[in-house]
Amino acid sequence: MNCEEINLWLDTLLAEIEEIEVTRKSERRVRVDVPASSLPALLELLKGKASYVHLSAISCVDWPDDEEFELVYHCWSYEAKSLLSAHTRIPRNSAQEFAHYVSVYDIYKPAAFFERDIYEMYGIYFESSPYMEKFILTEWNGPPPMRKDFDAEQYVNDTFNWADYHPQWLQELEEDGGGIAVRPEDIRL
Amino acid sequence: MRPENYQLVALPNSDEYELFIGPNHPGIEGNYAFKLKLDGDRVISGKADAGYLHRGFEKLMEGRLWIQNLAIVPRICVPDPVPMEVVYSLTVEDIEKMEVPLRGQWIRVMQLELSRIASHLFTFGGHAATTGMYTPSYWGVADRDLALDLFEELTGGRVYHIYNIPGGVRRDIPNGFLDRLSDYLDYLETRQNDYDNLLFTNQVFVKRARNVGVINQEQALEWGVTGPNLRATGLAFDVRRDDPYLIYNELDFEIPTQTAGDCLARILVRRDELFQSVRILRQIIKHLPSVKGPVRAPIPNPLAWNVSMGESYCRVESSKGELAYYTVSDGGPKPYRVHVRGASSMHAVQVLENMAVGQRIEDIAQIMFSLDACPPEVDR
Amino acid sequence: MSKIGNIPVNAQAGKKRTNPLAGVFDELVQFCQSRSMFMLHYCTGCGAIELPPAMTSRFDMERLGIQPMVTPRQADILLVTGYVSVKTLKRVILTYEQMQSPKYVIGICSCTVNGGMYWQSYATAKVLNEYLPVDVYIAGCMPRPEAVIEGMRRLMRNIEEGKGHAWKDYFQRYDYYLGNQQHLFGDDWQTPTDIIGEARHYGLETEQTYGEHTRILEQHQQPLEPHKMRIKF
């Protein structure tokens, strides 16, 4: 199959899935918005029938105002030479400890790494993903740090001390009425 | 530690034992750990342990201005920092629909290829050292240092350059830089024979590296291997050619491949790639003087720059493989979300774990270096 | 207690050294110590990338008598090359405590001084000096090989002049260091090394060796046990 055939085939495939929204951003970038329930089916079709065999990444975006997490699956086809980003949204479930979603490990093996990463950083539990344990943040006991409601700066100021730096030259300047005009904590934008 | 604190350890009733390689170990690349379960000297299973280099980059970037982030992105991969700056700039340009002037693009490609050369030279040395050959590592580091000198002249920094900004590069190249670059390429080509004799065709090394850590093309595709490691299994895929960015589609270069998929094939692909980079740089030296114009597009006041709303996923080919950033902007002064897909995030963890099974213990370090895993990309 | 150079020896309390050659011997020991140093470079961060150039042909650290060493038990210098994440800091402390005295710590890169450009990061420890006694800091992001070598020479000068005493501070003020470590790692933090016992052995214990934090350590301390197979495969 050449590129155009695959692209045509892709369009017919995508038409089969309900509530799907396809945007062609450029020659080699396709954006697809699907409801969370039909995403695994879409990926299955993409890999099995449209040659999108390479899962480049799974990105997660936190939207606390909408009470939602956005999951983006970036799939690459070596034959059609195009990158398809499948966007989906799942509820944030701030009342429960974890938001839940299904793993796509049985379709794409690389998903295991990204799902574990998202589980650690955002606290989204992927059912039937093989390694749902701590990997990078083994020494971390706090909330999932990448969530928008975790204030890293506050945490750092509460936990760590800073070294004093008040050398002779600065003291002399201050005696003459000078000094650091704007303190670092005031330069916030 | 005092002797009375030592205790005899009762051996378990089998030949199986555990061995922790790393985080502080000469046979491991950077601050990374690999835990092995062994039977004699055969590996039964292995488990990667990352996170020693975790700094929370993605969180840091959400707290800083778009322009400030340029200073921290190169730190994500220390041996090969230029692709990090470029791909971050590419995402911002993609969101802002900005056009980079042609001269800026050529200079960017020049840096990318020079950085690839530096990174590959470093890897040769590391890989050879794991087989007990230390001379290539001295050569590799010394030759890489000459590339760093060029970078220093171009950008002011030896290792971290922060030379690319959204819209192009900071300033034009210095006078006579291309001549010195050309001299360096001449020097590298005269060294080709030496490296071949010492390392790539040296039977001591070849016999040690052949048929070790084999991965076939099917497995490589299934596990998401990219970059030189994928090309060593026979698939000629390169983001530079198949998903071209900047001016790569105007350049003439080949994509070297090998079919064996073992440690030797991987290092040979890197060797060929290095000389392809030399070829690309020669074309740049020839063309760059005729490309006139500014080196960067005008950007608004960088300290009060609200990048417009949007999202972008950009990929480049770094020396380790496919490197991608997913950047989301909500129209504010800071990025809303930046996701870094490290080039070695696949082959430093899952691929290594799978490949280690059944190997001998002395080959584990070699396999890790031949995959060119970069731990900070995994941890971020 | 008296000292010959940096090597503490147990002498009976109140007994004075009478040998007039002792001072000469001190200087000789210091001179030799400063010129044969084995360094353990723990690649905690980016700074590690400038060490290969510093160690190999171009800048050649070996001409100063500094060589890399692979095991902490035989190393004199611990090089902390860059930011230390909390996970790494635990291993750095374990490594440091296994080294033989006299031992020296060099903090490379700005991140070990005061957090550097990762000051906002929830995962990195900021001031290395709170957890380990640091002899020399080499600031810069990242310091060039020349700067690394200059830092090494500073350490050598310090040792030669008999000023490299930071490692004693770890025994003398163990409570302070332990307190900071416990603050980060939790109250049940313990290492396999018996620092208080060693301090007593070397005759370096002071009032500040003990305190509330060492009492917490005693409460939680568990005897060392053989390592169990516990990796889940």
Give the DSSP letter string of chain A: --HHHHHHHHHHHHHHSTT-EEEEEETTEEEEE--GGGHHHHHHHHHHHS---EEEEEEEEEETTTTEEEEEEEEEETTTTEEEEEEEEEE--SSSS-EEEE--TTT-TTHHHHHHHHHHHH-EEEET-S--S-SS-TT--SS-TTSTT--HHHHHHHH--------HHHHHHHHTT---SS-GGG---
Considering the segment(s) B79-341 as one domain, its CATH architecture is: Orthogonal Bundle (1.10)
Q: Which residues pair with A81 in a beta bridge?
A: none
Contact C184 A133 (CB under 8 A): no
Residue of B nearest to A62 (CA): B337
For residues C35 and B143, give the distance between their C-alpha atoms in angstroms, rounded to a whole number. Answer: 29
* Predicted pLDDT of residue C2: 43
Q: Cα C200 to chain center, whole Å?
A: 19
Does the distance separating the beta carbons of A109 and B350 come in below 8 Å? yes
- Which H or E element spans position C152? helix C145-160
Contacts of C120 in chain B (CB under 8 A): 59-60, 63-64
Pick left, alpha or beta for residue C123 (phi over 0 → left; psi -120 to 50 → alpha; otherwise beta). alpha
B186 band by pLDDT with thresholds 50, 70 and 90: very high
Taking an 8 Å cut-off on Cβ atoms, the answer to whether A53 and B379 are in contact is no
Residue C75 CA to its chain's centroid (Å): 10
Of A150, A156, A161, the CB nearest to C120: A156
Chain C residues with CB-CB distance to B70 below 8 A: none
Mutation to test the B interface, candidates A43, A113, A115, A188, most B Cβ within 10 Å: A113
- Taking only residues 39 to 78 of chain C, the set having a beta carbon closer than 8 angstroms to any beta carbon of chain B reads 40, 42-46, 48-50, 52-53, 56-58, 70, 72
- pLDDT at residue A185, as a whole number: 64
Q: What is the CA radius of gyration of chain C?
A: 19
Task: Give me the helix-helix angle, B177-195 and B102-130, nearest 10°.
Answer: 30
Q: Which of C122, C128, C232, C233 is the best mutation test for A, with the most CBs of A within 10 A?
A: C122
Residue C230 lies inside a defined structural domain of this protein: no
Q: Indicate whether C90 and C48 sit together in one domain.
A: yes
Summarised one tens digit per residue, pLDDT across range A25-58 is 777 888 888 888 888 888 888 887 778 888 888 9
The model's pLDDT over B305-326, given as tens digits with 9 standing for 90+, comes to 888 888 889 889 888 888 999 9
Q: Report how far residue B361's alpha carbon sits from residue A155's, in angstroms, rounded to the nearest whole number.
A: 42
Distance from CA of A153 to the nearest CA of C (A): 5
State whether C44 and B18 contact (CB < 8 Å).
Answer: no
Number of domains comprising chain C:
3
Segment holding B325, helix H or strand E: strand B322-329
The answer to whether residues C151 and C48 belong to one domain is yes
Residues of B in Cβ contact (< 8 Å) with C46? 75, 78, 159-160, 376
Domains observed in chain A: 3-178 (3.30.460.80)
Q: Which of C163, C180, C202 is where one domain is finished?
A: C163
Q: How far A92 CA lies from chain C's nearest CA (Å)?
A: 23
Tell me which chain A residues have a C-beta less than 8 angstroms from the C-beta of B304: 189
> Is C85–B54 a contact, with Cβ atoms under 8 angstroms apart?
yes
Mean pLDDT across the stretch A79-108?
82
> Is B11 in CB contact (< 8 Å) with chain C?
no
Does C46 sit within 8 Å of B75, measured CB to CB?
Answer: yes
| Closest chain C C-alpha to B290 CA, distance in angstroms | 35
Instruction: Give the pLDDT of residue B278.
Output: 92
Nearest-Cα distance to chain B for C19, in Å, is 31
Please choose, from the candidates A20, A25, A63, A47, the residue with its C-alpha nearest in 3D space to the C-alpha of residue A111. A47
Please list every residue in chain A whose beta carbon sits closer than 8 Å to the beta carbon of residue B237: 78
- Report, in angstroms and rounded to the nearest whole number, the Rg of chain B calculated over CA atoms: 22
C206 reaches B (C-beta below 8 A)? no
Residue at C117 is within a domain: yes
Most confident of A176-185, B25-34, B100-109, C43-52: B100-109
Whether A189 and B304 lie within 8 Å, measured CB to CB: yes
The answer on C157 and C65 residing in a single domain is yes
| Chain C residues near residue B77 by CB distance under 8 angstroms | none
Q: A: neighbours with 3+ CB pairs under 8 Å?
A: B, C
Of A145, A153, A161, the CB nearest to C130: A161
Average pLDDT, chain A: 81
State both tokens at B335: 């990025």
Model confidence pLDDT, tens digit, residues A97-110: 678 888 888 888 88
The partner residues of A74 in beta bridges, in order of sequence, read A57, A85
Task: Please report which residue ranges of chain B form alpha helices under DSSP H.
Answer: 57-62, 69-72, 82-96, 102-130, 135-155, 177-195, 203-209, 217-222, 228-231, 239-242, 263-287, 350-356, 364-371, 375-379
Predicted local distance difference test score (pLDDT) of residue B13: 60
Give whole-number Cα distances, B321 to B56, B83, B275, B342, in Å: 22, 11, 17, 9
Amino acid at site B218: E
Is the CB of C120 less than 8 angstroms away from the CB of A155?
no
- Shared domain for C117 and C191, answered yes or no, is no
Q: Which of A30, A53, A59, A60 has the highest number of chain B CBs within 10 A, making it the mutation to test binding with B?
A: A59
Check residue C23 and give its pLDDT. 76
| C-beta atoms of B243 and A72 within 8 A | no
* A7 has a pLDDT exceeding 80: no
Q: Which two tokens stand for residue B241?
A: 């050619």
Is residue C138 located within the same domain as residue C65? yes
Q: Using the beta-carbon criterion (under 8 Å), do B237 and A29 form an inter-chain contact?
A: no
| CA–CA distance, A110 with A85 (Å, rounded to integer) | 16
CB-CB neighbours of C86 under 10 Å = 20
Read off the DSSP letter of residue B39: E
Classify residue C20: in a domain, yes or no.
yes
For strand B16-21 and strand B33-39, is the pairing parallel, antiparallel, or unpaired? antiparallel
Of the candidates B340, B55, C87, C86, the residue with the CA atom closest to the CA atom of residue A114: B340
Residues C136 and C29 in one domain: no
The two tokens of residue A149 are 């409601």
Same domain for C111 and C82, yes or no, is yes
Q: What is the pLDDT of residues B25-74, one digit of tens each?
A: 777 777 888 888 888 788 888 888 888 888 888 888 888 888 888 888 88
Give the pLDDT of chain C (233 residues) as one tens digit per residue: 444 455 555 555 555 666 777 778 878 888 888 888 888 878 788 888 888 888 888 888 888 888 888 888 888 888 888 888 888 888 899 889 888 888 899 988 888 888 888 888 888 888 888 888 998 888 888 888 888 888 888 888 888 887 878 888 888 888 888 888 888 888 888 887 778 888 888 888 888 888 888 888 878 777 666 656 555 55
pLDDT greater than 70 at residue B369: yes
Question: From the CA of B204, how many Å to the nearest CA of chain A?
Answer: 35
| Min Cα separation C113/chain A (Å) | 7
Beta strands at C77-81 and C104-108: parallel, antiparallel or unpaired: parallel
Show me where the domains of chain B are located: 79-341
User: How distant is the Cα of C182 from the closest Cα of chain B, in angstroms?
Assistant: 19
Rounded-to-integer distance, Cα C176 and Cα C170, Å: 9
CB contact under 8 A, A163 and C232: no
Which amino acid, one-letter code, is at B2? R
> Is C182 an 8 Å CB contact of chain A?
no
Mean pLDDT, range B345-364, rounded to an integer = 86
Residues C28 and C41 in one domain: no
> Is residue C21 located within the same domain as residue C40?
no
Residues found in chain C: 233
Statement to judge: residues C147 and C44 lie in one domain: yes
pLDDT value of residue C230 = 54
The last residue of a domain, from among C163, C189, C206: C163
Where do we find the tokens 């050569």? B139
C42, C68: one domain:
yes
Q: Which of A116, A150, A156 to mutate to test the interface with C (most CBs of C within 10 A)?
A: A156
Residue C232 lies inside a defined structural domain of this protein? no
Residues of chain C in contact with residue B26, where contact means CB-CB under 8 angstroms, are 70
* Tens digits of residue pLDDT in B283-293: 999 988 888 88
Which range marks the domain in which residue C14 is found?
1-34
Same domain, C155 and C185: no
For residue A17, the distance in angstroms to the closest alpha carbon of chain B comes to 24
**Which pair of tokens denotes residue B208?**
């040690």
Q: What is the radius of gyration, based on Cα positions, of chain A?
A: 23
Chain-chain contact of B7 with C124 (C-beta, under 8 angstroms): no
Helix then strand then coil, in percent of chain B rounded to 5, is: 50, 15, 40
Q: Which residue has the tokens 């390169």?
A: B238
Cross-chain residue pair B223–A110, CB shorter than 8 Å? yes
**What average pLDDT score do residues B349-377 get?**
86
Q: What is the ipTM of this complex?
A: 0.85
